[in-house]
Structure 1
Amino acid sequence: MAISTGSDSDEVLSEINITPMVDVMLVLLVVFIITAPLMTNAINVNLPDTETTVQIQEPKKPIVLSINAEGKIYLDKDEYSLEIIQQELESRKAADPELRLNLNADEAVNYGTVAKVMVLIEKAGIDRLSVVTETGG
């Protein structure tokens, strides 16, 4: 549809006014926002009781290797020296091939100590290692 500008020339203005289209789209958006929560199918169901079946085994808790600020190494809560920690990790890995290890190192400990321990963990064949940190603000 052509719109006349009302001037003396017989030129036709061929621009599309998109304001009504934007208004319609905004109204549709508001309608969808209001009706979307009503369209969820949250049905409360009272489930029946049954007999227990095979339980899924939870993964074992990881072993915690901690290094305190003085550089002392603890495996769970037992203290070990740097020289024998690899043998202890190897024996635990042999007993449990799926061994997981959490490494907790104090932020004040020397980086070299942590690096040496990580190399010993790798030499012991442990490939499931988590380095535990603390998130703060």
Structure 2
Amino acid sequence: MGVDLYSGNKNKGVRPEINVTPLVDVVLVLLIIFMVITPLLVRQFWVHIPEQEKKEVKQESKTNTEEPLVLCILPKNKLLINGNVKVSLEELPQRLKRVFAARDDHVLFVDIEDHANYGFAVEVMDRAREGGAVTIAVLTKPLAKN
């Protein structure tokens, strides 16, 4: 017969105890998994595109007779303005300042070719912002010619 350690009484049987070690191991493994996965879930890029009424778009297209300003970023770090004017990265801000001085809007459309350098494209958009571009829109489809 055993002696109860807590009360000092004699026990006639074995006292059942819950083994919590496997439970603690499972909880720690789950904690580690969530700690690893949580930072990966936060890295998302959301783009909110405002919806426009069809009337506004029609009115803008009628009153706006200027051709949109499109900056093409080609492979091997080449730049074209409106598809025909070659420009270097260094002279881009000055060229855009001159172009925007003659325009009412400061909207720049950026057309990036498939094999263009992503880092270069980001740097070009930063330089375009220096050149006075207020709105920079990345083209997903070619602009329709009227």
Q: TM-score range by the shorter chain?
A: 0.5 to 0.7
The structure 1 residue matched to 2:63, chosen from 36, 57, 67, is: 57
Aligned to 2:13: none
Aligned to 1:70: 76
Aligned to 1:8: none
Aligned length: 80
Q: Which moved more, 1:109-118 or 1:98-107?
A: 98-107
Q: Secondary structure at the match of 1:130?
A: strand
> So what's the TM-score if we normalise by structure 2?
0.49
Q: Does 1:92 pair with 2:99? A: yes
Q: Does 1:83 pair with 2:102? A: no
Aligned to 2:130: 123
Task: Give the gaps of 5 or more residues in structure 2.
Answer: 1-61, 142-146
The alpha-carbon deviation at position 121 of structure 1 amounts to: 1.1
Q: Which moved more, 1:73-82 or 1:92-101?
A: 92-101
More helix by share: 2
Structural RMSD (CA): 1.9
CA distance in 2, matches of 1:85, 1:108: 21
Q: Is the 8 A contact 2:109 2:136 kept in 1?
A: yes
The structure 1 residue matched to 2:110, chosen from 103, 107, 116, is: 103
The alpha-carbon deviation at position 59 of structure 1 amounts to: 5.1
Q: Is the 8 A contact 1:62 1:99 kept in 2?
A: no
State the Cα deviation string for residues 62-115 of structure 1 (Å, max 9, x = none).
111001122200011111111101100011111214132110011211111101
The alpha-carbon deviation at position 128 of structure 1 amounts to: 2.2
Q: Secondary structure at the match of 1:73?
A: strand
Q: Secondary structure at the match of 1:83?
A: coil
> So what's the TM-score if we normalise by structure 1?
0.52
Task: Give identity over the alignment, percent.
Answer: 27
Task: Give the gaps of 5 or more residues in structure 1.
Answer: 1-55
